[in-house]
Amino acid sequence: MSRSSYSKFLVTTASLLILSGCVSTSDSTPANGNANVSKLNSALAELVQDNSCTASFQCKVLEVGQRACGGPSRYVVYSTLHTQQENAEQLADQITQQETADNKTNGLNDCLPVLPVQALCIDQQCQSFELK
């Protein structure tokens, strides 16, 4: 990645992080909550898109979201080689807070189990494996 494209990536990522922290409290309709979760999920996906690695210790797993019956709604695998861990954790926390609020508003709607995953560096890419 060239220096200028890396700089553009950092500016875009910082902009997304700043924008994703803006939550309207005046309109708490479920549609607004779902739209905000979608935006946050998109920002997180963009942030963790480069999963390249050189060793498994660079591969991390984030619990993201909150199911109505408890536990995360999904797991995200990312590489610390190209992703700032703190930024990824902040976005995951924002998604979890929004989904928790949505669950209180909408009640129980998803109780399917989500199996935990482990992340390993295989073929220089962080990959997830379900733990059974």
- The one-letter code for the residue type at 99 is E
- For 57-109, how does the pLDDT look when each residue is reduced to its tens digit (9 = 90+)? 999 999 999 888 888 999 999 999 989 999 999 999 999 999 999 888 877 66
Report yes or no on whether pTM surpasses 0.75. Answer: no
pLDDT at 108: 65
Please give the tally of structural domains in the chain: 1
Determine the structural domain holding residue 68 and report its residue range. Answer: 3-130
Q: Is 80 helix (H, G, I), strand (E, B) or coil?
A: coil
Which stretch of DSSP H or E encloses residue 78? strand 74-79
Cα gap 39→23, rounded to integer Å: 11
Residue 123: what pLDDT? 96
> Long-range contacts of range 25-34, CB-CB < 8 Å, 24 or more positions apart?
28/101, 28/105, 30/102, 30/105, 30/106, 33/98, 33/101, 33/102, 33/105, 34/102
* pLDDT score of 33: 63
What integer pLDDT is reported at residue 24 of this predicted model? 37
Residue entry with tokens 């930024």: 87
How many angstroms separate the CA atoms of 83 and 79, rounded?
Answer: 6
pLDDT of residue 102: 87
**4-47 pLDDT tens trace:** 443 344 334 444 333 334 333 334 444 556 778 899 999 999 99
> What size, in residues, is the chain?
132
Alpha-helical (H) ranges within the chain are: 3-20, 30-47, 85-106
pLDDT at 34: 72
Cα separations in angstroms, 42 against 22, 91, 111: 15, 10, 23
